[in-house]
Chains A and B, each alone.
Chain A
Amino acid sequence: MGSRPWIFVSLILAALAALPVIVKSEYLLGILSVCFIYGIWAASWDFMSGLTGRENFGHALFIGAGAYTSAFLNARFALNPWWGLPAGAAMAVLLALVIGFPTLRLRGPYFALAMLAAATIMQRLTLIFWQYSGGEEGIPGLDPLLNSKIGIYYLCLAALVLTTAALLLLARSHGGLLLRGIRGDEAACQAAGIDVTFYKIAALVVSAACAGMGGVLYAHYQEAVTPDVFSVALSISLIIMVYVGGIGTIYGPAVGAILLALLPELLRGLGQYRLWAYSVVLIFILFFAPGGLVAPLWRRAVGLAR
């Protein structure tokens, strides 16, 4: 790779890092913090599903598991919120193993459906066990991870950059090559001596750990957690973000998620037509750029410059 992509990346990161100095709006910084968290979620979805081709219709399961685990520890046991990051990731990994082991050894839609069902069931459980989970209200009054909005902005930015970089390195490693092989043809992968079930479960575990930590960041940013973190709507919107970003590229979905999470805010001036405009933009993107928008544009930008 030439130096041009690195210059571009450095410029973008420098601009994002300088933003709090230039823009004093805590409101905007807050929105961007959430956008970065969406970026983590989309990139982590892409690592498992984009690379191996095994769609996950319930990524919110891992997000919610991280968010609720951390909320429980913080609100019920008054634990320091930073403990939520490893604990939330561990809970998400545990769920990934429980669902991955039986379903990822099978072909067909079992994994996708099991994820969808598990996320939905967890959302119902938060309502059924309302005495512990707070029901619709969720668990309010969580401690923030950092006290300043600017600090949280930098934390979320750093988490996104580190997660994306780590997932990109993994995707370009030998393991990532095998994951793409699994996407190409599972039987042929087995015939090449590869334990495809192991690699799929490993990819899901990595994906779940990142999503879970994103969920913890989200819970403590909101200083509350509600059953919405398990919602189908969240899972589906992440998949849309991945497709807009460019599936299988990791960085594309991360950027795509930021843009799509930002779009409703940018369209706020349109008032009641906001959601309508959002949907039209989405349909146009998916219709005219089936390979995604972010990754192909990025390749063209760095390719032309080289």
Chain B
Amino acid sequence: MSALLEVSALSKRFSGLVAVNEVSFSIAPGEITGILGPNGAGKTTLFNLLTGFLPIDGGEVRFDGHNLAGLAPHRIVNRGLARTFQLCRPFSGMSAFENVMVGCLAPRVRHREAPETRAREILAAVGLAHRAETKVDVLPYGDLRRLEIARALATRPRLLLLDEPFAGLGSSEIEPLSALIRALHRSEGLTILLIEHRLREFMQLVSRVIAMDFGRIIAVATPEDIVRHPLVIEAYIGRAEDDTTGDVLGTA
């Protein structure tokens, strides 16, 4: 079976700093893959390269067999590769329904189904049906995270990139959101690549973990094995003041 996403020797430099260094991996259709790494490992930069938000300095990204180099972000989305942002980026002044509508109006989906109907369906699917008419400016943070996913889902992606979907959530909110992601994966056959820098959320969600540090891939393994990987342990425990250390130790 051919890979849905194939990344080879992808690199990005910011005036001397190599943020992403010769990264290569591939994602099979239907997989949930996690990208793990301490702050500054290059995870978000990698996402920005895959989605066209940053120009690629070297290497190649192939999605469904097509090279994505030089494509504008909205064109990549319309090929079926959508993303969410680490910080929620709702359209302020607009309702939750209108926020999802924007995604439903992407050229990829707008002619297939009435956008209004589809927006209501997606709000219901992420558990925000009762918030449809609420202005996003007053939505609680947990709902904004769901809205962020809903807007990406609206474009009917084949591969969904989630940038720290649990960031800023309390432990009681993480489990339902995790369940939602698993449900989307099952029902829509969605392939998911997600970034997280805490391990606990990974264990139940992903089948494979790609560990990054200093812009490089240092290990690829199952979640059970990744916590025993010497380079991963070094990446985390190497910095004793890092607040993620406790998380890793607690899980391992």
Contact = CB atoms under 8 A, between A and B. Distances in A.
Interface of A: 174, 177-178, 180-181, 183-185, 187-196
* Max chain B C-beta neighbours (<10 A), residue from A183, A184, A193: A193
A192 B93 contact: no
A191 B98 contact: no
A177 B72 contact: no
* Max chain A C-beta neighbours (<10 A), residue from B89, B109, B115: B89
A3 to B, nearest CB: 22
Given A184-B91, A187-B53, A190-B77, A177 B106 contact: no
A192 B99 CA distance: 10
B89 A187 contact: yes
Contacts of A190: 53, 72-74, 77
Nearest to A185: B89
A187 B47 CA distance: 14
B53 A177 contact: no
B51 A188 contact: no
Contact of A188 (B91, B101, B105): B91
Nearest to B53: A187
Contact of A184 (B84, B92, B110): B92
Interface string B92-121: 111000110111011111100001000000
B74 A180 contact: no
A192 B90 contact: no
A191 B89 CA distance: 10
Interface stretch (B25-33, B125-133, B147-155): B147-155
A193 B91 contact: no
* Max chain B C-beta neighbours (<10 A), residue from A183, A191, A194: A191
Given A185-B89, A187-B89, A192 B106 contact: yes
A194 B106 CA distance: 6
29 contacts: A174-B101, A174-B105, A174-B110, A177-B98, A177-B102, A178-B102, A180-B91, A181-B99, A183-B93, A184-B90, A185-B92, A187-B73, A188-B85, A188-B89, A188-B90, A189-B91, A189-B102, A191-B51, A191-B77, A191-B82, A191-B84, A192-B105, A192-B154, A193-B77, A193-B108, A194-B74, A194-B106, A195-B72, A196-B74
A178 B91 CA distance: 10
Given A189-B102, A190-B77, A196-B74, 15 more contacts: A174-B105, A177-B101, A180-B91, A180-B98, A181-B99, A181-B102, A185-B89, A187-B85, A188-B85, A188-B89, A188-B90, A188-B151, A190-B72, A191-B77, A193-B103
Given A177-B105, A181-B94, A192 B152 contact: yes
A195 to B, nearest CB: 5
B78 interface: yes
Given A174-B105, A177-B105, A180-B94, A193 B89 contact: no
Contacts of A183: 91, 93
